[in-house]
Structure 1
Amino acid sequence: MPCSADPCQWDTDGASEEQREVAASKCWPCPAITQCGAFAGANREVHGIWAGHDRSKLQGRKAAKTKRTEETK
């Protein structure tokens, strides 16, 4: 698995957009991508690249959606 060789590569803190995209692209051929995504979801990971997705971006979208929902109430 690519992430086991260099776990720091999947840390998004301080990473450029290009670095994030390169790391995420390395996930797609991984045989553990499904389990990786399930683990990240079950553990509510909010940082790093998990199963080809930047979890910090997912968290940002959820926060924005929550804010819009609260504003319409």
Structure 2
Amino acid sequence: MQPHKKLNILLVEDDKESMDFFVSCFGKEYNILCASSGEEALEYFEQEDDIAMVLSDQAMPGMTGVEL
């Protein structure tokens, strides 16, 4: 029997404390990919083909969550 594979969640958040809190809450159950900007999140989209969910801050400098 194969072990359960963790789903990848891409968290896009420019606030480090919020990011750390989310990872501490959900990091055991899910593989959390952290991006601190929309531009960094786009790099994950190019590299990863199995992102199950994206959770994004809406108000970030450079690129908003809506623009992402």
TM-score by length of 2: 0.26
Q: Relative contact order: is structure 1 or structure 2 higher (C-alpha 8 Å, sep ≥ 6)?
A: 2
TM-score under structure 1 length normalisation:
0.25
- Structure with more of its chain in strand, by fraction: 2
Which has the higher Rg, Structure 1 or Structure 2? 1
